[in-house]
């Protein structure tokens, strides 16, 4: 596996397995929910995994796949044993390609799953790692660190399709839909968490499969390239979600949400936290003068004993990517300007008021 050192010491345990979600009807068995506690994984300490089970059609739709190291793979077989469905009667929908969501994709397709559906992630290119380090003007220490570069390869998706049977992979987009277990689940492209993120939504039932689009975390989007507009898209999408009448929401790292008031409060809180974040963030950094992404990541880590070097190189990469996302958002919302220097680094500065 790519960047093995990033996955050392991970342990996991299933806390719940195939619990019912919401009301089950006699015609379908609906949605099954399993929860996994994870230790020492850099992205999350719990994974909520779901599948739709259509008893009449004898079909299971996996929502994401877990990962051999972070959740193991056997739970997928156990799921099918318990539901008495064969691998040939399964399909996979990926909300996005982060390792905790897509790591068992090859396993599912090799075991016999009939197809995987997802929005195509940005193509990987070997030059992206060095471009990221140039765009952000990252330090020589980071440039030369093997773990940092491996982490970037992982985030850029170098191994997303390693060993994956591409004949069984299908790209989807807005307008595509899955009919299963009485649900009509439309693909809702939701760039933000990453560019290829997609939710599923049943507008009539008010049911949303949110993946990592809704997440209990501080505001911030990691960005790896300029002009991806991830935080901008995220904020605009959250505003739209707030206008839908939702009655249930499945999230990949949180208990499911029910009841419109609870859902509205969660979505509204998320939107407000981003709306407040950008002007506050701008206020805090505007006096630093023209600044690069790495310069800002370093400045933000000043309170730690060894500044940004307090953190492992892989964690530094994520801090840099978060600052990239935030600075690009300030640029997208025209709160800052941006120039590209001769060395390929972006420099952000506050607009002069006339
Ligand atoms: Fe995730």
pLDDT at 29 over 90: no
**C-alpha to C-alpha distance for 223 and 123, rounded to whole angstroms:** 15
pLDDT at 45 over 90: yes
**66 near 72, Cβ under 8 Å?**
yes
- CA 39 to ligand 1 centroid distance, Å: 14
pLDDT tens, 50-80? 999 999 999 999 999 999 999 999 999 999 9
Q: Residue 23: how many CA atoms within 13 Å on its side-chain side?
A: 9
Q: How confident is the model at residue 25 (pLDDT cuts 50, 70, 90)?
A: low
- CA 289 to ligand 1 centroid distance, Å: 35
pLDDT tens, 230-276? 999 999 999 999 889 899 999 999 999 988 899 999 999 999 999 99
User: Distance from first CA to last CA of the chain, Å, rounded?
Assistant: 54
pLDDT at 279 over 90: yes
- CA 212 to ligand 1 centroid distance, Å: 5
Handedness of CA 182, 191, 316, 150 (dihedral sign): positive
pLDDT at 185 over 90: yes
Other Cβ atoms closer than 10 A to 64: 29
- CA 48 to ligand 1 centroid distance, Å: 9
pLDDT at 127 over 60: yes
pLDDT tens, 290-321? 999 999 999 999 999 999 999 999 999 999 99
Cα–Cα distances in angstroms (integers) from residue 352 to residues 278, 286, 334, 336, in the given order: 18, 11, 12, 9
Q: What's the chain's average pLDDT?
A: 94
Percent of the chain with pLDDT over 90: 86
**C-alpha to C-alpha distance for 334 and 289, rounded to whole angstroms:** 16
- The residue-averaged pLDDT of 31-45 equals 95
- CA 95 to ligand 1 centroid distance, Å: 9
**246 near 207, Cβ under 8 Å?**
yes
- CA 215 to ligand 1 centroid distance, Å: 9
Handedness of CA 43, 158, 134, 235 (dihedral sign): negative
- 118 vs 28, more confident: 118
Which of 106, 108, 99, 83 shows the shortest CA–CA distance to 30? 83
pLDDT at 23 over 80: no
Architecture category of domain 4-126+157-277 in CATH: 4-Layer Sandwich (3.60)
- CA 336 to ligand 1 centroid distance, Å: 30
Which of 300, 325, 344, 316 shows the shortest CA–CA distance to 145? 316
- CA 12 to ligand 1 centroid distance, Å: 15
pLDDT at 2 over 70: no
Residue 256 in tokens: 């499911």
3-state secondary structure 200-227: EEECCCCEEEEECCCCCCCCCCCCCCCC
């Amino acid at each position: 596996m790519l960047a093995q050192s990033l996955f050392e010491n991970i342990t996991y345990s299933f806390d719940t397995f195939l619990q019912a979600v919401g009301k089950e009807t006699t015609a379908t068995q609906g949605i099954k929910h399993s929860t996994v506690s994870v230790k020492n994984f850099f992205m999350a300490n719990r994974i909520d995994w779901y599948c739709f089970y259509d008893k009449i059609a004898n079909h299971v739709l996996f929502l994401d796949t877990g990962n051999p190291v972070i959740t193991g793979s056997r739970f997928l077989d156990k799921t099918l044993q318990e539901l008495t469905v064969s691998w040939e009667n399964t399909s996979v929908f990926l909300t996005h390609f982060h390792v905790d969501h897509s790591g068992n994709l090859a396993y599912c397709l090799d075991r016999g799953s009939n197809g995987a559906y997802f929005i195509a992630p940005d193509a990987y290119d070997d030059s992206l790692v060095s471009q990221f380090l140039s765009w952000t003007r990252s330090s020589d220490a980071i440039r030369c660190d093997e773990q940092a570069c491996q982490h970037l390869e992982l985030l850029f998706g170098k191994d997303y399709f390693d060993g994956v049977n591409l004949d069984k992979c299908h790209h989807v987009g807005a307008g595509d839909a899955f009919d299963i277990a009485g649900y009509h689940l439309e693909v809702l492209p939701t760039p933000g968490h990453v560019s290829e993120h997609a939710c599923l939504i049943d507008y009539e039932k008010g049911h949303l499969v949110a993946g990592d689009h809704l997440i209990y975390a501080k505001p911030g989007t990691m960005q790896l390239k300029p002009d991806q507009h991830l935080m901008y898209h995220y904020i605009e999408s959250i505003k739209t979600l707030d206008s839908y009448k939702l009655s249930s929401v499945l999230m990949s790292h949180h208990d499911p949400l029910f009841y419109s008031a609870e859902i509205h409060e969660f979505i509204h809180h998320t939107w407000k936290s981003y709306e407040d974040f950008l002007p506050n963030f701008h206020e805090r950094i505007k006096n630093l003068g023209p600044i690069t992404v790495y310069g800002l990541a370093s400045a933000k880590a000043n309170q730690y004993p060894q500044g940004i070097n307090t953190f492992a190189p892989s964690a530094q990469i994520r801090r840099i990517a978060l600052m990239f996302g935030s600075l690009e958002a300030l640029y997208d919302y025209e709160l800052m300007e941006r120039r590209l220097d001769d060395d390929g680094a972006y420099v952000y500065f506050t607009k002069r008021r006339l």
